[in-house]
Structure 1
Amino acid sequence: MLIDDYAAELRRALSGPYGPKRDLVVEARHSLLDCAEAYQAQGLRRTEAERRAVEEFGPVRDVAPGYQEELTASAGRRLGLLLFVSVPATVLAWGLIWSFQPAETWVAADRPEWFTTASRLLDVVQLAFGLYGGLALLALSRPARWIPRPRLVTRSLGLSVWLLLPLNTLLGLLISHASQLPASTLSSTPVVLANVLTYAFAGTQLYCATRCVMLSRKAWPPAAARSR
């Protein structure tokens, strides 16, 4: 097998974020090219030098698991960073809106007894979101990686979003409904922008979480490689 064929097979075998995946394949290809050039300098023909370099590098079924582990950690880092940034941004946006609302539109509203409990529970869920995202980002970072199985952190991060995001959305909707804000307030530009920001972040979190769960459950080596 020649180098370009090997790189193409490795690319097909891997799953993960486009940028890191491309970088890993390019890095592997450059390593193979360097090795082939060294063999060529020893007198081998180009095709034979490439075959020798590929053989020395190892079969894709043996090389892919290490690369896939890094891609899975990369997906976890992206989700961790997203949570660490987006959750405080959402809380800040809504905090500013509540702070600038006239007092008579929300303090004096006849709210149900569960309003305060739901509001505090929402604060706890959002705090857990942000903190776990930051901890996962730290645990999965290359310089500070101290966990033996980063795949499990990526998986737990994705599953936590699946579990907590619906709860976070439900609490937010209940609190918004119970606040009894006038229609003019709900349709104001700041509230509309905050809603757009909130749902955009939620959709991105759900997409990244789904990718993390799918990547972390991927079996290696691939079935196609095992059957060879």
Structure 2
Amino acid sequence: MAGTGVIEDYVTGLSHTLRGPRRPKLDLITEARDSLLDTAEALEGDGLGRDEAERAAVEEFGTIREIAPGYQEELSKSAGRRLAVLLFVTVPLTAIMWNLIWKIFPGSPTAYHDMPDWFILVARGVDALQMFIGVVGGLALLALGRGLRRIRRPRLVTRALGLFVWAMLPVMLVSCGALMFGSHGSAGFGDYLPGTVATLVSYAVWILQLYCASRCLSLTRREPAPATA
């Protein structure tokens, strides 16, 4: 039975109040609507009119101010899990991709003789840093999954993960920029198609990571207000 009147107004107001990933937010809103409709239909079966039953169901459910903090906390956790999965999956894969690029570029056993002395050290440092970021993503994913039974403030995990990604950005940009600069004198890396594709993929992954990190920071900027009776 479609929601109308009081329930629909309530659900619309709740939807406008909450911020977060679209799919989890839609699931929460649908769950709230279904719960309200079930309660209203039960009350209507007890003899109340439809409008009165909807008002009673909303009153029993709680005001938007009362329930929004809990719902917003769930959306913050969802955003954190999305970023954690992204880091856990894409960062190691990006590191492996670049390892393969450097192993086959430019198809000459003397390729690295043309590189600066610091090139190999920086390249290995970047690989280690990428793997570290992937591990952090895995730990955050665990914390926001099974670890929720022990973590009382998952919002802080989500926020810390967003800050971590932004903190790593300048380090990765400087390190990868140095590698690109150091490779310019070696067999024309700028004309090397696999390297160009890998660069574009890396940029796309960074942009997606930063978007998700910014989303996490935005959703956790303020501590959810405590529910009031």
Query: Scaled by the length of structure 2, what TM-score is found?
Result: 0.90
Unpaired segments ≥5 residues, structure 2: none
What SS does the aligned partner of 1:2 have? helix
Specify the code of the residue in structure 2 equivalent to 1:118: V
State the identity %. 48
Specify the code of the residue in structure 2 equivalent to 1:40: E
In the TM superposition, what whole-angstrom CA distance separates every residue of 1:111-161 from its partner, at most 9, and x where no partner exists? Answer: 14x3344223322321221001111111112x4423111100000000001
- Indicate the residue corresponding to 1:106 in structure 2: 111
- Indicate the residue corresponding to 2:187 in structure 1: 182
1:23 to 24, 27, 46: 27
Distance 1:215 1:106 in 2: 47
Unpaired segments ≥5 residues, structure 1: none
1:45 to 41, 44, 49: 49
Q: How far off is 1:173 after superposition?
A: 1.0
Distance 2:100 2:128 in 1: 19
What SS does the aligned partner of 1:111 have? coil
Computed over aligned residues only, the root mean square deviation of the Cα atoms, in angstroms, reads 1.9
2:65 to 61, 64, 71: 61
2:126 to 122, 128, 138: 122
What SS does the aligned partner of 2:113 have? coil
Q: How far off is 1:39 after superposition?
A: 0.1
- Count of equivalent residues: 221
Q: How far off is 1:87 after superposition?
A: 0.5
Distance 1:110 1:10 in 2: 58
The runs of 4+ residues in structure 1 deviating greater than 4 Å are: none
- Indicate the residue corresponding to 2:162 in structure 1: 158
Cα distance change of structure 1 residues 167 and 203 upon mapping to structure 2, 3 Å threshold: same
Q: How far off is 1:110 after superposition?
A: 4.5
What SS does the aligned partner of 1:108 have? helix
